[in-house]
Amino acid sequence: MKLTRVFLIAALALPCVFGASKEIVELQRDVALLQDQVRNLQSSQDAKIAALQTLVQQELDRIDRVNTTLAVLGSNLDNTANKTAPAVANLSGKLDQVSQSFNDLRDNVQDMSARLGKIDAAIADLKNNISLASRPAPPPAGGNINPEAQTQAGTQPQAGTTGPPAGMSAEQTYSNAYRDYQGGQDALALQEFQDYLQYYPSTQFAPNAQFYVGDILFRKGEYQKAVAAFDAVNEKYQDNAKTSQAHYMKGLALVKLGRRDAAVKEFREVIARSSEPDLVARARKQIQDMGLSTGTRKTARRRQ
């Protein structure tokens, strides 16, 4: 009876045992598959890490080589600098000496030019004084003057003298005119410069006086007269210090008069001939402001 009961219980439990065993087998298979995937992933990760370590090591080696090269280069530069420093210092000293010598020479030339100007003015004053001294004294007022005799001799009565007034000197006249010009006394300076040009047209500072006449006329807005005055600078006085500036100022006056083509010609004359970089730059800007090209063929430059 008991044996039969045992068999009956075993028979009833057998299907449950078989079902549980099947699920365990499937779970074990899944676990084994997951373990294989983990192992494959670990192997792949190890390979990538090894490759990355190799690349990092290669980069470190390259950096070491670059650092070594830079160190060698720095050492070479230091050696070169140490070797060339005395030569550069010596050259700098020589350049300073040359610069100082040039400045001294320029000062001497300017001083000599000023002295020559004073001598030139003194010679002009001396000539005028000699002319006045050699001129016969005018007849006394109410004297017997025979105009018919003068006419027969082929002369005409003179309304006045051609020399400067008594006591007038070239140096003082020019100094006064330039002082008034600098001080903004345009009307007075204009008259003084014109007097200077009338009585001393061949002195050293005559081109300067003619230029300042044109500049004053330009400032007064009398552009046509200014053009004529600037033309006189280069027509009456060849190779003078105001040549390029006269061309430039004439160009500005022509712009004011609306004569663009003639103005451009003057500006290009400055660019082609002037040795003053600032003046050339201003002439180029004037042409560019008109929307034109500054190209010009370089010609033989006159002495400024």
Give the pLDDT band of residue 103 (cuts 50, 70, 90). low
Q: What is the CATH number of the domain that holds 291?
A: 1.25.40.10
Question: With 0-12 CB in 10 A as exposed, 13-18 as middle and 19+ as buried, what is 226?
Answer: buried
pLDDT of residue 164: 78
Residue 221 is assigned to a structural domain of this protein: yes
In a domain, 1, yes or no: no
* pLDDT tens digits, one per residue of 58-79: 999 889 899 999 989 888 888 8
Q: How confident is the model at residue 212 (pLDDT cuts 50, 70, 90)?
A: very high
Q: What is the tens place of the pLDDT at every residue in 175-184?
A: 999 999 999 9
Residues 6+ apart with CB under 8 A from 199: 128, 163, 164, 168, 170, 173
Average of per-residue pLDDT across 108-129: 60
Q: For residues 70 and 54, what is the distance between their CA atoms, to the nearest angstrom?
A: 24
Q: What residues make up the domain containing 185?
A: 170-304
Q: Which one of 2-6, 116-120, 281-285 scores highest in mean pLDDT? A: 281-285
Query: Which pLDDT score is estimated for 147?
Result: 36
- Assess contact for 254 and 266: CB atoms under 8 A: yes
Whole-angstrom distance, CA of residue 51 vs CA of residue 43: 12
Amino acid at 258: G
pLDDT higher than 80, residue 295 = no
**pLDDT for 157:** 36
95 and 190 both lie in a single domain: no
Q: Note the pLDDT of residue 160.
A: 40
Q: Based on the domain organization, do 192 and 301 belong to the same domain?
A: yes
Residues 6 or more apart whose CB falls under 8 angstroms from that of 292 comprise 264
Q: Is residue 192 part of a domain?
A: yes
Confidence (pLDDT) at 174: 94
User: Same domain, yes or no, for 74 and 180?
Assistant: no
- For residue 292, name the pLDDT band (cuts at 50, 70, 90): confident
Are 179 and 298 in a shared domain?
A: yes
The answer to the question of residue 141 being in a domain is no
* Residue of 183, 181, 203 whose CA lies nearest to 192: 181
* Residue at a domain's end among 63, 85, 100: 100
In this structure, the answer to whether residues 61 and 186 fall within a common structural domain is no
198 and 297 inside one domain:
yes
- pTM summary value: 0.49
Q: Tell me the CA distances in angstroms from 82 to 157, 218, 231, 240, one per residue in order.
A: 87, 60, 60, 51
* Residue that terminates a domain, selected from 100, 132, 158: 100
pLDDT of residue 217: 97
3-state SS assignment for residue 97: helix
> What pLDDT is recorded for position 127?
54
pLDDT higher at 191 or 159: 191
User: Could you tell me the end-to-end alpha-carbon distance of the chain, in angstroms, rounded to an integer?
Assistant: 147
Residue 154 has pLDDT above 50, yes or no: no
Report which of residues 172 and 167 the model is more confident about.
Answer: 172
Is residue 279 domain-shared with residue 199, that is, in the same domain?
yes
Residues 178 and 92 in one domain: no
Most confident of 236-245, 260-269, 288-297: 260-269
Q: What is the pLDDT of residue 248?
A: 96
Residues 179 and 290 occupy one common structural domain: yes
Residue 2 resides in a domain: no
In one-letter notation, the amino acid at residue 201 is: P
Q: Given 73, 100, 127, which residue is the final one in a domain?
A: 100
Number of domains, the chain: 2
Asked, for residue 79, whether it belongs to a domain, the answer is: yes
CA 6 to chain centre: 119
Residue 303: the pLDDT is 38
Query: pLDDT band at 291, cuts 50/70/90?
Result: confident
**Rounded-to-integer distance, Cα 227 and Cα 204, Å:** 22
Average pLDDT, the chain: 78
* Of the listed ranges 104-113, 190-199, 218-227, the one predicted with least confidence: 104-113
**What's the confidence (pLDDT) of residue 304?**
38
Residue 232 contacts residue 243 (beta carbons within 8 Å): no
Question: With bands split at pLDDT 50, 70 and 90, how would you rate the model's confidence at 216?
Answer: very high
State whether 216 and 294 are in the same domain: yes
Q: How far apart are CA 248 and CA 274, in angstroms?
A: 10
Whether 183 contacts 205, CB under 8 Å = no
Q: What is the pLDDT of residue 133?
A: 47
Q: Give pLDDT, residue 253.
A: 96
* Residue 146 belongs to a domain: no
Res 97 pLDDT > 90: no
Is residue 181 in a domain?
A: yes
Q: Domain check: are 187 and 275 in the same one?
A: yes
